[in-house]
Amino acid sequence: MSVAPLLSVRGLEVRSGGVALVEAVELDLLKGQTHGLVGESGSGKSISAMAIMRLLDAAQFEVEAQHISFEGRELLRLDEGGMRHVRGAEISMIFQEPMTALNPVLPVGEQIAETLRVHQRLSRTAARKRALEMLDWVRIPAANRRIDEYPHQLSGGMRQRVMIAIAIACQPKLLIADEPTTALDVTIQAQILELLHDLQSELHMAILLITHDLGVVAGYADHVSVMYAGRIVETGTTEQIFDAPLHPYTEGLLRSHPPVDADLAELATIPGTVPEPHLRPEGCRFGPRCAHFREICDQADPRLMWFADHHRAACIRPRGYVVNDLLEVEHG
C-alpha cells in the first residue's frame, strides 16, 4: 500500500518576461524523510522552492502547476491569509544567506520570538522563554547572552543556527533548506547538517534539502532529484542515484565530487555552463555538454521516463538502457 506524500508537486512552471525559468517540475516528499534537490547554480532549484512557498512576486513571475498539494490542500488555491498560516507554522524555509534573511536591527532572540507570537499567539514573556529554549536546542553556546545580540555580532555558523531556530520554532512538518551550508567552512557545514538531521529525528519533519553538491545529500537524503536547466532530469532513491546513475549529467556531478584521497589534478569537470533560460537548446538541454551526444539528441526533448521502481530519467541514451523511437524504455 503506497503512502500519500506530505508534499506533492506536479507540472510546476515559473515564467518571467515570457521566458520559462522552470518547467514540468515534479516532486514528492514523504513525511519524516529527506529529499535532496541537486544541480548547478542556475538550474532552477531555489526558484522552484520559492514558487512552492508562494514567495515570488506576482508582478514579476507567473506560477502555474497541475497541483502543489500539502497534506491534501492545494497551496495555489489558498488565499494569502491561509498561505501565511502555512508558512512558518507548517512549512518553513532556511534561506541561503543569513545576513540578508535576518533583520540586522533586531536582536536574534526577538526574531525567534516574533515567529512564535505570530503563529502560536504567545505572550512576549512566553515567546522570549521559548526563544531561549530554541537557541539551546540549536546548540548555540551561552544562549542567555546571545539572545540579545544582533546578527552582525554572531559568527556565520551561529547565524545559520539562528535561522534554523526561527524555521523550526513552530515545529513545522516540512523544512525547506536552501543551500544551508553555503559560505561555511567544512567543519561547520558538517555540524549544521548533523544538527538538521538530529532535529528532523526529534520533530519527525520532512526536509527538502537544496544544494549544488551531491556529496552533501549522500549521507542524509532518502531520495534525490537532479535538476538541470529548469527541469528534473533524474530522480530516484539515494542508493539508485549514487550506485546506478542514468543521466549523463548526474554521472558528471558524481565524477566532479572527488573522494578524500583524490588527485585534484585529475578531477573531472563538466564542460560548459548551464544555459540561460532564453538560450536553452531545442533538443536535449544537456546535449551541448554531454559526452554521449548524438545527432538525435538535437531533435529529441525527453521528459522523465520510468526505468525502475522510484527511478526515472529524462535521457534517450541512459546507461544500461535503450529508448526507442516511441520514447519507450527497453533494456540494453
For residue 222, being part of any structural domain is answered with yes
Domain of residue 135 covers 105-166
Whether residue 195 is found in the same domain as residue 254: yes
For residue 265, is pLDDT > 80?
Answer: no
Domain end among 150, 166, 182? 166
Domain end among 166, 193, 210? 166
For residue 272, being part of any structural domain is answered with yes
The domain that contains 11 carries what CATH number?
3.40.50.300
For residue 276, being part of any structural domain is answered with yes
d(C-alpha 323, C-alpha 302), whole Å: 10
Closest C-alpha to 207, from 246, 251, 177, 241 = 177
Whether residue 155 is found in the same domain as residue 64: no
C-alpha triplet 149, 151, 154: angle, nearest 5°: 75
pLDDT, tens digit, 9 for 90 and up, residues 75-127? 999 999 999 999 989 999 998 887 788 999 999 999 999 999 999 999 999 99
Q: How far is C-alpha 200 from the chain's CA centre?
A: 15
For residue 100, being part of any structural domain is answered with no
For residue 229, being part of any structural domain is answered with yes
Domain count, the chain: 2
Q: What share of the chain has pLDDT > 70, as a percent? A: 92
Q: Show Cβ contacts of residue 129 under 8 Å, excluding neighbours closer than 6 positions.
A: none
pLDDT, tens digit, 9 for 90 and up, residues 119-168? 999 999 999 999 999 999 999 999 999 999 999 999 999 999 999 999 99
